[in-house]
Amino acid sequence: MSSMTTSNCPSVLTKIVKAACFAAGLLYAAIGHAGVLSFTDTTVGGPTWNRPLSTTTLSAIGTNVAYDVTQFRVDQSGSYSFFSQGLLPLVWDNYLVLYANAFSATSPTANIITLNDDYPGIGGAGFVVNLTAGIDYFVVETGFGNSNAGTYSIVITGLGSGTASIVGANVVPEPASLALLGLGISGLFAARRRSAQIL
């Protein structure tokens, strides 16, 4: 086996860079075109507010109820489906509210787009709404009454090809995305090993 010469370096480096770019491209494609954003969190121990009853009035029951807010954006304008489920305690009575441009717990009806409770029954909430790319949205998970709080999941689905993403969040790849990244990295090491054996 001959030793590596300077003239071989660009060839080896090019193969490694190409393999790395291929792996990154696969990961981006898998995440960027998933069309679904899902996450879990909790309202337990969170701040409290007088939640809205409608887009113009406040609730007389949820006057001091815990809430959790998540800021997100969409990459394409269009129709999006939201579904929230109360997880622990099992089927706790959750409530979902959506805002555009800004959210303030001290002005619960300002900038509100829509809200929902009991979809399809107690322990779930959801709606379908048109969203615009480039706007900051705020989805607020809360409870129906002051004693209603717990962990929850939210799934936001682009009904076209749009995808939602949490503002400022680090994206955690799905298992399929990790598998694709693993294939790309394997290709990187295989290319590197082959180059070393040729020298």
pLDDT tens figures, 18-56? 333 433 333 333 333 448 999 999 999 999 999 999 999
187 band by pLDDT with thresholds 50, 70 and 90? very low
pLDDT of the residue at 188: 41
Q: What is the pLDDT of residue 120?
A: 87
E strand map for 75-184 = 78-88, 94-100, 112-117, 124-131, 137-143, 151-158, 164-166
C-alpha 60/C-alpha 62 separation (Å) is: 6
Mean pLDDT computed over every residue of the chain: 78
Q: What pLDDT does 30 receive? A: 33
Average pLDDT rounded to a whole number, residues 7-18: 40
| Helices 9-32, 175-198: inter-axial angle, 10-degree rounding | 170
Query: Residue 181 above 70 pLDDT?
Result: no
Residue 176 has pLDDT above 80, yes or no: no
- State what percent of residues in the chain have pLDDT above 70: 67
Distances (CA, A) of 134 to 36, 100, 131, 138, 195: 18, 11, 9, 13, 46
d(CA 48, CA 105): 8
pLDDT at 180: 44
Q: What's the confidence (pLDDT) of residue 182?
A: 52
pLDDT in tens, 112-171: 999 999 888 898 999 999 999 999 999 999 999 999 999 999 999 999 889 999 998 654
